[in-house]
Amino acid sequence: MKPMQFTVNAHIAFDGDGTVNGMIASARVVAGSLLLTLTLPAGVAHEPLAGRYFLARCVEPTEWARSHDWTLSLRRPLFVAGWRPATVAAGAERWLLTSSQLEDVGVNWLAAQPVDMPINLVGPLGNGFALPSHTRQLAVVSEPARVAALLPLIHAMLDRGGRVVILLQAHNSIEPLLRDLLPLATEVHQEAPGADWRTRLQDALAWADVVATALPAGEMAGLLEAVRTARLRVERGLVHCLADARLVCGYGACLACLTPLANGRWTRACVHGPVFDLADLAVG
Ligand code: FES
C-alpha cells in the first residue's frame, strides 16, 4: 500500500518519486559496523523487518547535487537494526540502520555526515527473517560487525518469551558498546575461528529451534559442515541466512546480487532474499 503523504518538515517526508527522505539523528561506528540513527516520516513500514534493507543515496541534499552529482552513483544498502514508532514527534519515527562495509567509500561518506543531514532512501526492500510460531530457542550466529542486522529478530524472540543465544566469531573480546547494544536477556558467546568456534557452533545448532546467521560468504562452508555434524542433515526451516550479497539496485535489474542455489540455478538476492533457507543455498 502506498504510504500516506505526510511531511514532518522539509527533510523528513515521502518524496514524489517513491523514495523517502530522513535526517541523521546520530552516526557512530561500533565493532566495525556503521550504526546510523535516522528520523523518518511515520508509516514507512509496519511488518517484521529483520534482514530487510534500505538503499541510501550518498549525495549532498541539494536539488543540484541530486540531479548532477554522480560521484557516488550507486546507492548503498543499510540493514534495519531497529525501529521505534512515534518516538520523536507526531508523524516521525526513529530507525536504526546498519552496514558492516566500513571499507566502502559510500558507507564511509554516510558515516561522516553530521547530525540533521538529510538522506534519501529507497525501502525497506527484500524478504527478511520470519520467526515460526513454534520457535522458543533462537541461536544467532554472526560476527561483531554484522550482528546488528539481526537485532530486530533477537528482540522479537525475547518479546515472545523465548531464549536467545548469540554466537559471535571474533578474535578479540566483544566491545562494550556492542555488548550494550545486545539485549541483557541474551546469552552471548565469542570465539576466535578454530576448534573452539566449531564446537560452540555445533552446540548452538543442536540446541536451537531456529538459527539466524549473518556471516561473510567465506564462513558458509564451515556453517554447512557444522549443521551436518550437529543435526546429521540440513533440515529445511532450521537455518536462515542473511546472504553476503552485493545489493545495488534492489529491484532485480542489475544482477549484481546473483546468488547460487542448491538446485543449480541462480537467484537475485535483492528481491528473493537477502534472507534464504540454508537448505536452498549452494554453499562451498
Ligand atoms: S541488486 Fe540489482 S539485481 Fe539484485
CA of 126 to the centre of ligand 1 (A): 10
CA of 77 to the centre of ligand 1 (A): 11
pLDDT in tens, 185-219: 999 999 999 999 999 999 999 999 999 999 999 99
Task: List pocket residues of ligand 1, CB cut-off 6 Å.
Answer: 247-250, 252-257, 268, 270
pLDDT in tens, 65-100: 777 878 888 899 999 998 776 555 667 888 999 999
Mean pLDDT of 249-257: 94
What pTM was computed for the model? 0.91
Question: Do residues 75 and 254 lie in contact, with contact meaning Cβ atoms separated by under 8 Å?
Answer: no
Closest C-alpha to 274, from 74, 50, 73, 101:
50
- Does the pLDDT of residue 277 top 70, yes or no? yes
Ligand 1 atom closest to the Cα of residue 250 is: 1
Where do the domains of the chain lie, and which CATH numbers do they carry?
Answer: 7-125 (2.40.30.10), 137-280 (3.40.50)
Task: Tell me what pLDDT residue 89 has.
Answer: 66
Element holding 203 (H helix, E strand) = helix 195-207
Confidence of residue 167 (pLDDT cuts 50, 70, 90): very high
- Does the pLDDT of residue 5 top 80, yes or no? no
